[in-house]
Amino acid sequence: MKVALVNGSPHKNGCTYTALTEVAKTLNEERIDTEIFWIGNKPVGGCIACKSCIKTGNCVFDDSVNEFRKIAQQCDGFIFGTPVHYGAASGNMTAFMDRLFYSDLCGRNNETFYMKPAACVISARRAGTTATFDQINKYFTIQEMPIVSSRYWNMVHGVTPEQIKQDGAKAEEVVEDKEGLHTMRVLGRNMAFMLKCKEVALKNGIEMPKRETPVFTNFIR
């Protein structure tokens, strides 16, 4: 089994990456393979509602979105990590997830993500974490992805990676987010448990939920 962890920060090895590596390390200890995918620091354009994905199954913009989809198709679970920018997920991460999930839902009947466990990890200096946590979780609920929880909301606080994982002699001089890292480890173990339970269920004849044709309505007077 394999979990893909998406780093939505413009910093490849920053605070978001530090949190994701703590989750990945725990997953590896539970014999779950992992891969961290960085969306990069070049601008990621948003969805332009061209509907090309309905015909092709891919986003019309052939960038990190389509690149990651190929990886995701071989994965069993997902962790999406983002820093907080102005009380929300980073602009690149929002555009990335909008296009990734919309194109898969419309063009592939959500085959890449259907019933695969997912969670998000939020990194911030101070505030905006819970609003961003709610924002990212909405992607999972519309894609029929079971959300994996931890013992607290999945967030870490700090300005630099050292502030998040600092445990040296001068720890009193920095923000030492031991609880945040503990939350990441619990998340990793809970994700591993969910994946193992799903594997056992399928091996023992428990079928996936029956799917029916979606019904679309509009809010009208």
CATH second-level architecture of 2-203?
A: 3-Layer(aba) Sandwich (3.40)
Q: Are 99 and 46 in contact (CB under 8 A)?
A: yes
Q: Is the pLDDT of residue 108 over 80?
A: yes
Query: 215 or 72: which carries more pLDDT confidence?
Result: 72
Cβ 96 vs Cβ 61: under 8 Å: no
Distance in angstroms (rounded) separating the CA atoms of residues 143 and 184: 23
Cα(92)–Cα(209) distance, rounded to whole angstroms? 33
Determine the Cα–Cα distance for residues 116 and 146; give it in Å rounded to an integer. Answer: 7
Rg (CA), the chain: 18
All structural domains of the chain with their residue ranges? 2-203
Q: What pLDDT, in 10s, does the model give residues 162-217? A: 666 655 433 332 247 889 999 999 999 999 999 999 999 999 999 999 999 888 88
Alpha carbon distance 184, 23 (integer Å): 5
Q: Is the pLDDT of residue 158 over 60?
A: yes
User: What is the spatial distance between Cα 100 and Cα 77, in angstroms, rounded to a whole number?
Assistant: 15
> What span, in angstroms and rounded, lies between the C-alpha atoms of 137 and 188?
17
